[in-house]
Amino acid sequence: MILIADGGSTKADWILLDKEGNQVLKTRTKGLNPAVFSEDLLITRINENEDLVNYKDKITNVYFYGAGCGTPKPTALLKAIFESFFKNAEVDVKEDTYAATFAVTNEPGLVCILGTGSNSSYFDGENVDCRIPSLGYVVMDEASGNYFGKKLIRDYFYHKMPSDLAKKFEKDFNLDADTIKRNIYKEPNPNTYLAHFAEFMLRSERNCYFNKVLHKGMKDFFKNRILPFPESKHVPVHFVGSIAYFAQDIIKDVARYHMIKLGNIIQRPIDGLIEYHRKKLKLEQV
């Protein structure tokens, strides 16, 4: 049996397929970003999932596509943890950009991720080129959940958020300054913590303020993560992630302004990943 996972900082979706490609199990763990979380926390999050524990010795291959797996050290850490947990399996760990790519296209194009974090890469039809390394939520991550979360928090404290929205924001979140500082600077998972403030936009009725915030974020993302690719003028640009799916009207506006051809915009890549690996299984059996 093969186990496929699409992992972010907030959550990881897992699908177990038998050798014929039939789905045996679908489950979810908390986020498994090895660039953000400690080894002990990663091990705990895997072990607390009973589905994975029950099937771990029956699995022959693990394909994990995750945030934070774009550089050698965190990738090696997560691979070692999986090899210890899934003792009978070959483990392949790749950056989440590969999952997004396999889910949206098999032809050349740019593939962008807008979820808790953000990223972009070029796919030439065979290989994924992560040309601009991601330095995470402190330095980069334009138009991501944590980017918009930070923006909303700043606007609230600087009194730039419209008063009616500020009142709703107060009801939805604990905005005590000491609590926010503790979660950002002392608690684990600050990127996930910041991103949860972005849910305020996702579950609220769209308005002029939200449109302005979203436009600014998307303009920053296009400027820094799409336009530097010369290929962006010649191939479609695809988007994956909850932020991308929610704000696709804004993405279309900014793409039109820059004369960028849009491709697919999907919320979760896991369904596309399943089909990709089913095709691989069929080819291996021929």
Domain boundaries along the sequence of the chain: 2-101+269-285, 103-266
Edge-to-edge strand ranges of the sheet holding 23-30: 23-30, 11-17, 2-7, 61-66, 90-95
Please report the pLDDT score of residue 283 as a whole number: 63
Percent of the chain topping pLDDT 70: 99
Check for a shared fold between 2-101+269-285 and 103-266: yes
pLDDT band at 36 (very low <50, low <70, confident <90, very high): confident
Q: How confident is the model at residue 286 (pLDDT cuts 50, 70, 90)?
A: low
Which of the pair, 175 or 99, is modelled with greater confidence? Answer: 175
- Kindly report the CATH class assigned to 103-266: alpha beta
Q: How far is the C-alpha of 129 from the C-alpha of 173, rounded, in Å? A: 39
Model confidence at 273, pLDDT cuts 50, 70, 90, reads confident
**Amino acid 263: pLDDT:** 96
Mean pLDDT of the chain: 92
Q: What is the mean pLDDT of residues 43-57?
A: 96
Q: What is the pLDDT of residue 285?
A: 63
Model confidence pLDDT, tens digit, residues 126-157: 889 988 888 888 999 999 999 999 999 999 99
Alpha carbons 217 and 202: distance in angstroms, whole number = 14
pLDDT tens, position by position, 217-230: 999 999 999 999 99
| pLDDT greater than 80 at residue 15 | yes
The predicted model scores a pTM of: 0.82
Residues 6 or more apart whose Cβ sits within 8 Å of residue 275? none
Q: What is the pLDDT of residue 109?
A: 96
78-103: average pLDDT: 93
Cβ atoms of 130 and 110 closer than 8 Å: no
Q: Please determine, looking at this structure, whether the domain spanning 2-101+269-285 carries the CATH number 3.30.420.40.
A: yes
| Alpha-carbon gap, residue 191 to 221, rounded angstroms | 18
Mean pLDDT, residues 162-186 taken together:
96
Mean pLDDT, residues 61-65 taken together: 95
249, 252, 253, 259 alpha-carbon torsion, rounded to 10°: 180
